[in-house]
Structure 1
Amino acid sequence: MNDIESGPTPALEDASHARRHFLKFLSGSPLLMGSSASGLMAALAAALPGEVAAQSYDVLRAQAPKVGEIIEAPEHALNVMDFEPAAKKALAAAPAHWGYMATGVDDDSTLRANHEDFEKIRIKVRRLIDARNIDTRVQLFGTEYASPIFLSPVSSQRAFHPEAELAVARAAGAKKQLMVLSTSSNSAPADVARAHGMPIWFQLYPTDDWNVTQALIRRAEEAGAKAIVLTVDRQGGRNTETLFRARRVDTRQCMGCHTAGFSNEVARKPVFERLDVSHVTNLYGTGMTWEFVAKLRAATKAKVVLKGIMTRDDAVRALSAGVDGIIVSNHGGRAEASGQSTIGALPEVVAGARGKIPVLIDGGVRRGTDVFKALALGATAVGIGRPYCWGLAAFGQPGVATVLDILQREFETILRQAGATSLQQINPAMVAA
């Protein structure tokens, strides 16, 4: 009898084992979900004799799902940028809502710099390191998260999807990733915390009324918020031209929701419910000084994090003020027309913090490689804003979940390519400008 008649050889058994694992890997990929991808997997399996599985190239030769210029399902996305045109299409009837999501300040140059400056950084790869097992867990203020990728605060998410922050919280919580909730959210902190299932952080717009500030802090604490994230980058005003241009082509009557006056502005924001805001003249506390930070530090048992620090000097001052953490941020390019990217500012802020407190960053993150670069330059965790909002607007909770899946998969891939198996192994020597 020949070898085929007498049974598989050891080499064939090894190949069969490897190929079965390959098919198992493919079946778990977020890019191969849904009816069209399931059919592709079934066709591959049916074409295989017995235990022999397809080679990796077979999936490239198989019929691909038909996808137009704009994806119609989350599983069609190849990267997170695929969600941007899908979100714009979903918000076509509300151009102002799209403009609010898309806008930077002035000509959006700071917004563009946030992402473009990531592309100037190169990653040094290493070979012959066993990187089969990757650990991306990170500890922040005593809570362990599965990934250093966190969800930055974004206001008024019901403008993008009816389930708003609750859909985002469920997606992030299922993956054990940190979520920071905005003061101007359309969902109550307690409801978001329940949907998330882990401690959230609460981003604070303090207003210019200390009584209101204290009430906001109490509501965040009652919801179990682990940190109060004071935003300090909205003191100078801003010119959001992209939003203003979008509003000009919006034919809806917006005054039904957006009536003048602070009371009307926050009337639909649950965290302000039943609060007396009659003495408030602005949401952002534009008169804040370092003395206010000390006052806030004394007013809460939660951790205090400053969001919007962009220089070494301010990082040094924050450290001396007793804050527990810093987020390097320019509000996603929406705070000022400085042209200074957050990734460009990160090294000097890290130097100012001297390893005493965690330094986080957001702004312009679009790839898992961006996450790696920020961690290599000293960040403890890396936030995203627009990408998950694109997913939310386009497809709700599944869109958010897929954005997180794609970024995490890309991040794990570059970890392996760079020869790092945990976050602790990432260091500045792994990148070059």
Structure 2
Amino acid sequence: MSDRLHPRPAAATDPAISRRKLLEFFSASPILASGAVGALATLLESGASGALAQSYDVLRQAPVMNGDLIAAPAQALNVFDFEMVAKKELPPAHYGYLASGVDGDETLKANRDGFEHIRIRARRLIDVRKIDTSVKIFGETWASPIALAPVSSQGAFHPDAELAVARAARVKGHPMILSTVGSSAIEDVIKERGAPVWFMLYPTDDWAVTEALVKRAEKAGAPAIVLTVDRQGGRNTETLFRERRTDTRTCTDCHTPGFKNEVSRKPMFDGIDVDRVTNLYGTGMTWDYVRRLRGIVKGKLVLKGIVTKEDAKTALDHGVDALIVSNHGGRAEESLQSTIGVLPEVVAAVNGRVPVLIDGGFRRGTDVLKALALGATAVCVGRPYVWGLAAFGQPGVEAVLNILQREFETIMRQAGATKIAEITAASVDRA
């Protein structure tokens, strides 16, 4: 993001000046001896951020900020710091789309509140200097259990859209799932990611379109098709509608009414006849639809949106290869059920036969550990990385992923876990 949008004092933008002012402050302090100041100078000049974080936490993030909003990704203390910048940068309707839950947003809030009922048990006197955060899913080793969830229409948040996200995922080593109605084609996303991505399928109500989408994704190299099953009942996105009221732009300048016109802007539908399609979500889907889809998917089939043990068991009966516990980030229904709250019953129903992933409200590394301790194989984050995208593009996404990974590694050490397998039910207490 340009300095024109976020002007900052020259002193705050120059790390050398910041270091010098910090040293001048400590040199004048009667508390620190000159030797301590000298040692501090060596650390500051060497850029040893790891040493600073470990030994001099009070000095981390020392540069002065100009106002309440961060002006660069490096200033962020946590992922929430990106949200307000994203809100400032985005048109009200676009921010409202990203922020909205359904009805009064109570389920969206429940996703976050659910983590407060799980406590982490800290362990001591374990050598945790070296930890391994890798997990294996479908025979592929992921460097981190933190994956990027599918988020639609990312061109509404940044011109580089999913391509910037894919590049960030490549740099930081995180897996990615692409939405059917993303702003970028899967072939381009895989190229920028430098590795295959999963494809989240909105099935539509025309089987021919479903088949075409699956074939294209698999031809591009997607190892898994992720069928979203939580959007069939419709939804009342009040927060979006409220924000849209304050948007003075003319929406029809970009959006033409009608399904065909809307999907014509989505590259995954290029070359596909959508004349008979009336909606994305396949409102007549039943378990027979899953069986039929299983018959054409050559790779792995994943169901996203499972939140009960009954549906988890039925999914296994239909040959599903993995589940994602999800309520669409609080955007599917106003059930007041948090995904972290229902995770244990889904895990118990699956009983280790397939991987169980989860999304919904993940904002901290501690959230990730709690989900893994309750049996999740991996977690998916959505809004936080889009906040980073909207605020600063690819560097913002990278910073969000870096913060989440750093927090996760920190709490792993506090829990005495040196690898993912050591994060177990014994790592947490449920209030």
The normalised TM-score by structure 1 is: 0.88
Correspondence for 2:421 among 399, 420, 424: 424
CA drift at 1:59: 6.7
Correspondence for 1:198 among 195, 203, 215: 195
Letter in structure 2 aligned against 1:103? S
Give 3-state SS (helix, strand or coil) of 1:335's partner.
coil
Correspondence for 2:331 among 317, 327, 334: 334
Give 3-state SS (helix, strand or coil) of 1:119's partner.
helix
Q: Percent identity?
A: 63
Distance 1:257 1:178 in 2: 31
Aligned CA distance change for structure 1 residues 264 and 38 (closer, same or farther; 3 Å): farther
* 1:33-432 equivalence runs, <5 A: 35-37=13-15, 39-40=17-18, 48=38, 53=43, 60=58, 64-67=62-65, 68-91=67-90, 94-432=91-429
Give 3-state SS (helix, strand or coil) of 2:281's partner.
coil
Aligned CA distance change for structure 1 residues 397 and 52 (closer, same or farther; 3 Å): closer
Q: Deviations over 1:148-195 (max 9, x none)?
A: 000000000010000000000000112221100000001000000010
Distance 1:222 1:35 in 2: 46
CA drift at 1:42: 6.9
Structure 1: state its 5+ residue gaps: 1-33
Aligned CA distance change for structure 1 residues 341 and 59 (closer, same or farther; 3 Å): closer
Q: Deviations over 1:211-238 (max 9, x none)?
A: 0000000110121101000000001000
Aligned CA distance change for structure 1 residues 300 and 62 (closer, same or farther; 3 Å): closer
* Cα contact 2:61–2:75 (8 A) shared by 1: no
Give 3-state SS (helix, strand or coil) of 1:80's partner.
coil
Letter in structure 2 aligned against 1:48? G
Distance 1:106 1:39 in 2: 50
Give 3-state SS (helix, strand or coil) of 1:203's partner.
strand
251-260 or 129-138: bigger deviation: 251-260
Distance 1:61 1:203 in 2: 43
* 1:1-20 equivalence runs, <5 A: none
Q: Deviations over 1:45-82 (max 9, x none)?
A: 99637996579566736993122211111001000011
For the aligned residue pairs, the C-alpha RMSD in angstroms reads 2.0
Letter in structure 2 aligned against 1:75? A
Distance 2:198 2:187 in 1: 12
Give 3-state SS (helix, strand or coil) of 2:305's partner.
strand
Letter in structure 2 aligned against 1:64? A
Aligned CA distance change for structure 1 residues 51 and 75 (closer, same or farther; 3 Å): closer
Distance 1:50 1:366 in 2: 33
Letter in structure 1 aligned against 2:118? I
Letter in structure 2 aligned against 1:409? R
User: Post-superposition, which runs of at least 4 consecutive aligned residues in structure 1 deviate over 3 A?
Assistant: 34-47, 49-63
Instruction: Tell me the matched-pair count.
Output: 398
Give 3-state SS (helix, strand or coil) of 1:286's partner.
coil
37-46 or 404-413: bigger deviation: 37-46
Aligned CA distance change for structure 1 residues 38 and 193 (closer, same or farther; 3 Å): farther
CA drift at 1:43: 7.1
CA drift at 1:139: 1.1
* Cα contact 2:23–2:41 (8 A) shared by 1: no
* Cα contact 1:208–1:285 (8 A) shared by 2: yes
Aligned CA distance change for structure 1 residues 200 and 62 (closer, same or farther; 3 Å): closer
* Cα contact 1:176–1:198 (8 A) shared by 2: no
The normalised TM-score by structure 2 is: 0.89
